[in-house]
Amino acid sequence: MSVSEGWADRRRAHEEDYFRKRDQELIEKMRLRAQEEAARDRLAERAGVFDEDLLQKLERLGYSAETVSLLHVMPLLDVAWADGQVSHAERDVIIAAARSRGVESGSPADVQLAEWLVNPPLDVLRDGSLHVLGAMLRMRPSEERTAAECDLFSSCTAVAFASGGLFGFRKISDQEQQVLDRIVDELTCNSDASSTGDPPGL
């Protein structure tokens, strides 16, 4: 074999190795893309929303098909943490609400909820979740939206009243009332979902 033939063989070997690696990278990218699309499809089905923008926001907030049921529980957590700690009574109300939303004991959503009951969710997560929830509710028919809002407000108020105050006075603290007012403002705003500005982080 001549020197030139040897160089040609090595060049072909390098080229084949290069293209084989490129093919493997492309296959891996396609596999990951398929996984992402499948995960988004599951998230859409569980969340009951198929708007691409909202699904992307849910993903950026860290929700998955396994934890998106906690989206409707987040406002309750917001109220509970308004005073800087979650009481046993508030915890019981929140867990009961989560169970009614299909959060089963020991599930990924239940594990995440347990963490949020000990350590408060970041502000960007609470604000972002409320923003997305409001947008989702505004996509529903009027009567269905009103019923969902009333149910959520009732649950939030139940959390605020759960701990109570001294001798039953001032059962809702000023901090809790401020959070309740913010939740009402966000979820009942009349602007169209598509024109609502995103909070920081979204």
In a domain, 176, yes or no: yes
Q: Write down the pTM of the prediction.
A: 0.76
Residues 108-163: tens digit of each pLDDT: 999 999 999 999 999 999 999 999 999 999 999 999 999 999 999 999 999 999 87
Domain count, the chain: 2
Report which of 69, 99, 110, 89 is spatially closest to residue 158, judged by C-alpha positions. Answer: 89
Residues 41-99: tens digit of each pLDDT: 899 999 988 899 999 999 999 999 999 999 999 999 999 999 999 999 999 999 999 99
Predicted pLDDT at 192: 44
Same domain for 86 and 101, yes or no, is yes
Same domain for 107 and 163, yes or no, is yes
Its domain, for residue 168, covers 52-195
Return mean pLDDT, the chain: 85
**DSSP H/E element including 54:** helix 52-60
Whole-angstrom CA distances from 13 to 6, 18, 21, 110, 133 are 11, 9, 12, 54, 56
Whole-angstrom CA distances from 185 to 41, 130, 153, 191 are 31, 10, 11, 11
Residue 17 corresponds to which amino acid?
Answer: D
Same domain for 87 and 129, yes or no, is yes
pLDDT at 200 exceeding the cut of 60: no
Same domain for 20 and 111, yes or no, is no
In a domain, 202, yes or no: no
